[in-house]
Amino acid sequence: MGLQAFVVAGVLAVGLAFLALLALGTSEDAEPDAAAAQRVALTWTGAELADPPRRVGDTWEIDVRRPDGSLVEVTLDRSLRLRELDEELGRDGTPAHDEVAGEPRRSAIAAARSAAGPGAVRRVERERDGTIEVDFLAPNQTVIEVELDQRLRVKDVDEEEIGDE
């Protein structure tokens, strides 16, 4: 009886160890890493230079710099599928195509200023849905993003670290 109990205990111990290793091996280690996200972003843009990827919730964001001086933010989901390409700078560092200029820019900044508080304007861009996002660099070196509706009313305000926008 003693030997049989010993064998059963050994089999149970080995089985539990196997299950523990299996559980550890199927954790989030299977998720693609930052280097893989960077390679995918470079492939989508045809460029050769990208900033280090950053995690934003369940997505990867990678700033890709093209040889013509443009900068594109590539957003990938957790499986590295493309979610969005957002041109941040045009050729030779000129404003991107979605950058708001002139009187609409001044109006958007004025509308967003009360929600953002003090800080320098970093960009004002029109989103696909017609809303406008105004980004301010706050004195504490964070970025305050103010989203305005089409009538320039504040819809949302987010504060992010300077490298996360």
Topology of 31-93 in CATH? Nuclear Transport Factor 2; Chain: A, (3.10.450)
Phi, psi of 57 (to 5 degrees): 65, -125
pLDDT tens digit string along 69-90? 888 889 899 999 988 888 888 8
Please give the torsion angle defined by the CA atoms of residues 9, 14, 15 and 16, in that order, rounded to the nearest 10 degrees. 90
- Mean pLDDT computed over 12-29: 44
CATH number for the segment(s) 102-161: 3.10.450
pLDDT tens digit string along 39-54? 999 999 888 899 999 9
Distance CA 66, CA 87 (A): 11
Domain residue ranges of the chain, discontinuous segments joined by + = 1-30, 31-93, 102-161
Distance CA 127, CA 120 (A): 21
